[in-house]
Amino acid sequence: MLDITSTTHPQHPTVVILRLSGDIDSSNYQFFQKRVDEELAKGGQYFLLNFANVSRITSAGLRVIHNLFNALRAANNDISDDDLRRQMSAGTYKSPRLKLTNLTPHVIDVFRLGGFEIYLELFEDENTAVSSFPNAAE
């Protein structure tokens, strides 16, 4: 079972924090996608996903996160596709709009195996992650 609570950060109300609890797999990824889509529809521009209570994530959950990354890029176009490819190849690109925090060692391994750490920043706590968003207070 997957539980998701959403809130905004008190000092940075444009940052949507999704706190995930449970396993994320093929049995519940559609629920995860629906919640992400709801937050995007409300105008969410910056997302922090908190994995403190997630012990396992499969490719279905990774797909939702990749879809969120793509939706945020499409809505905000922070960088051209060519520049994105160059910077990702060089290891210098990190999404300015999507961050992850409180990942367990197993979940970190899954993200690394999937190549997600190439373009997503992983943080140990919410406050550090929130402060890393550029222009989050806009």
The first and second tokens of residue 36, run together, are 């992400």
Contact at 8 Å (CB) between 47 and 14?
A: no
Q: What percent of the chain has a predicted confidence (pLDDT) above 70?
A: 97
H/E stretch holding 29 reads helix 29-41
pLDDT of residue 137: 47
The predicted model gives 86-109 an average pLDDT of 94
The predicted model gives 65-82 an average pLDDT of 92
| Mean pLDDT of all residues belonging to the chain | 93
Neighbour order of strands in the sheet with 2-8: 2-8, 15-22, 46-53, 98-101, 121-123
The single-letter code of the amino acid at 87 is: Q
Taking the C-alpha atoms of residue 19 and residue 34, their distance in angstroms, rounded to an integer, is 15
The predicted model gives 66-70 an average pLDDT of 97
The single-letter code of the amino acid at 34 is: K
- Its pTM stands at 0.92
Residues 6 or more apart whose Cβ sits within 8 Å of residue 81:
none
pLDDT of residue 77: 81
Give the model confidence (pLDDT) of 29-54 as tens digits: 999 999 999 999 999 999 999 999 99
Domains and CATH numbers, the chain: 2-131 (3.30.750.24)
